[in-house]
Amino acid sequence: MAADVARNARVLELPAIPAAELYTGPLHEGLDASSLSSRATERAARSVVIVSPLWGLLRLADEVPRYRLHVCARLVGLDRLEPLWRAALPRLMADAAGPAGPIVDLRSRVYQAMGMPSGLANRTVTLKVDQGPRGHRIGDVIAKRERGRAARHLLEWDVEPADPEHLADILAERWPVRLDGPERRKGEWTLTLSVAA
């Protein structure tokens, strides 16, 4: 990882590229932002938010240099990143969410620890993927890719979902789904997609 460390040390000198091109993991493969329809591309530009351990919140068109950094990293002089972001991101995520509609959280638990949208638990839906009816465990890569495909499906849908129940109805057009309401009064919703293993 020496090359990654060396690049990180001069990250502010490196050329920047759009976030849509920088992030290429399984979730982003499932989303496949470059092949969205023109209407879905416009919707993605205003509604998709990437949570970065280095830059905070990014839109798909925001340009940043390449880097390699995990949210659990410990940096000299800063210690762990996750508690620092948890103090700043909830308010920023709430601002980015806008005034209405469900907030679909595709992040892993580690990245959710950076914070949830402040005061919007009743609109926040954590999207999960289970192993489907046969009971076989699927890998994290498949689950991430399927969450990306779900985001793509929502972006390409004719209308934007109005609430968590409407969101579940839209995704149920493609996957078996289960929507669970908040377990506590101020908790988030959970929507689980079933994928046959």
- Asked if residue 102 lies in contact with residue 169, where contact means CB atoms within 8 angstroms, the answer is no
For 131, residues 6+ apart whose C-beta sits below 8 A from its C-beta are: 137, 138, 194, 195, 197
State the Cα torsion 97-98-101-106 to the nearest 10°. Answer: -10
Element (H, E) at 41: helix 38-47
Q: What is the pLDDT of residues 5-25, one digit of tens each?
A: 888 889 999 999 999 999 999
- In tens, the pLDDT along 125-161 reads 999 998 655 556 678 899 999 999 999 999 999 999 9
End-to-end alpha-carbon separation of the chain, Å?
34
